[in-house]
Amino acid sequence: MTDAPAVSPPELRRTARRGLTIYFAIVVVLSGGLEAYIWMNPSTLGTLVLPLMWTPALASVIARLILREGFSDVSFRFGGLRTWRWYAVGLAMPLVVGVVAYGVAWLTGLVGFQGDTTTVLRGVAYAATAATLVNLLSTTGEEVGWRGYMLTRLIDAGTPRPVLVGGLIWAVWHLPLIFAGVYAAGSNRMLSAVLFVGSVVSISFVFSRMRLETGSVWPVVYAHATWNAIIQGPFDGASTGPDAALWTGESGILVVVALAAFAAFASRGRWTYIRRLPGVGVPLSRVVSTSPARPTPH
């Protein structure tokens, strides 16, 4: 797929760049302060993870208020059949990646399996329902910022390969916690960081397409919640052994490979960007080209 830049009017491009400048400055200050404190006090991760995950949303709200953009473009509508198809993709991703990556790890003996199949299946059922509902509280904070604001502004700003750039920014945001050894970190933290970037960039292509195809932030909020609940819950919980973090988990080799394959499948074809201009309630459509040609409004 060619992640092409957007064709935006000059004034929209300038406004988007101003918005991104404000947004990133606030994210760096707020997230940097929290992550620095967690680095020095690792036991506070559980307490501060929710405020940390809400810093992207808070930054986007402040940027919108400063530029008087409004909130109609987030968008908070649930949508119709086009939207529900992407909710199904959001649920399928952690299930498919979990079964393939963790299944291979367990069957080959690369990673130990603790418990039994029935327990894991019950855990997956719980994670896909009740645990996902709980996770919506935290993932809403991230996605209102990352895909509800940053992604669309990267496109409107004419950023080359905006989906890739957005995925890299999202990945880098996590890295201080990995290097601190409190999140998705194996014995080799540098290797974990590199693999984690691959994992998150792959997910970002799926999440970005959900957001652009539906014009709504909710499918991405849901997909993010199910991923965290299912992968970090029953699948990670059933994995044991000294090399578990190397092969499984969000910085595991098998998970990165499975995610890349899933993202390639979900990214195929042409993307349609259903959007609302900042401050304007009229939805528009734009095709994001998968060929070298630049996208054109229609």
Is 174 in contact with 141 (CB distance < 8 Å)?
A: no
Residue-range domain boundaries for the chain: 10-288
pLDDT value for 4: 53
Q: What is the dihedral of CA 27, 29, 30, 36, to 10 degrees?
A: 120
* pLDDT-above-70 percentage for the chain: 88
* Residue 254 banded pLDDT, cuts 50, 70, 90: very high
Q: Please compute, for residue 258, the number of CA atoms within 13 A of its CA located in the half-sphere on the CB side.
A: 24
Conformational region of residue 41, where left means phi above 0, alpha means psi within -120 to 50, and beta covers everything else: beta
Rounded average pLDDT over 8-16: 86
- pLDDT higher than threshold 50 for residue 208: yes
Strand 283-288, strand 271-276: pairing: antiparallel
- pLDDT higher than threshold 90 for residue 52: yes
* Residue 289 banded pLDDT, cuts 50, 70, 90: very low
Of 145, 126, 116, nearest in space to 221 by CA: 145
Rounded average pLDDT over 286-292: 43
Please tell me the distance from the alpha carbon of residue 52 to that of residue 27, in angstroms, as a whole number: 10
Q: What is the dihedral of CA 137, 140, 142, 145, to 10 degrees?
A: -150
Please tell me the distance from the alpha carbon of residue 260 to that of residue 148, in angstroms, as a whole number: 23
pLDDT value for 70: 86
Alpha helices in the chain (DSSP H): 10-40, 45-53, 55-67, 81-97, 103-108, 117-126, 132-145, 151-156, 162-179, 189-214, 218-230, 236-237, 244-247, 253-266
Q: Residues 169-182: pLDDT tens digits? A: 999 999 999 999 99
* Residue 294 banded pLDDT, cuts 50, 70, 90: very low
Rounded average pLDDT over 150-171: 96
pLDDT value for 56: 98
Residue 273, token pair as written in the block: 């960007």
pLDDT value for 80: 67
Rounded average pLDDT over 225-251: 97
pLDDT value for 284: 54
pLDDT value for 275: 73
Q: Residues 90-106: pLDDT tens digits? A: 999 999 999 999 999 99
- pLDDT higher than threshold 80 for residue 130: yes
Question: Is the pTM above the cut of 0.75?
Answer: yes
Mean pLDDT of the chain: 90
Residues with Cβ < 8 Å from 209, sequence gap 6 or more?
A: 86, 163, 266, 267, 271
pLDDT value for 66: 96
pLDDT value for 267: 93
Rounded average pLDDT over 146-168: 96
Let me know how long the chain is: 298
